[in-house]
Structure 1
Amino acid sequence: MFTILVIMAIFSTVVTSPLLRRWLPRIGIAVPSRSEKVERSAHEQHG
């Protein structure tokens, strides 16, 4: 049962992520791009 729940959670995330990336900026919520996430994590690692 637990395995099915995990698979469903991963599947729903994969399906909804692209839709949310298109929809959220339209309603005024900024979604950081992947390059911004990489830059931010690099800054956090270096101090």
Structure 2
Amino acid sequence: MDYLSAQLEDLLAGKRENVDRDLIERFVAGYDVHIAIEEPLFELGESI
């Protein structure tokens, strides 16, 4: 199970008051890697 999603669902349901900072930091780091890969592919697609 995706721990970040579970914590966000609990937050929205009022079962939590916060989300683990480590999970947020790992999500942001993963997103940075994703964007670094996706942006050049997006630009390549526009040039075709």
Higher relative contact order (CA 8 A, sep 6+): 2
TM-score scaled to structure 1, two decimals?
0.48
TM-score scaled to structure 2, two decimals?
0.47
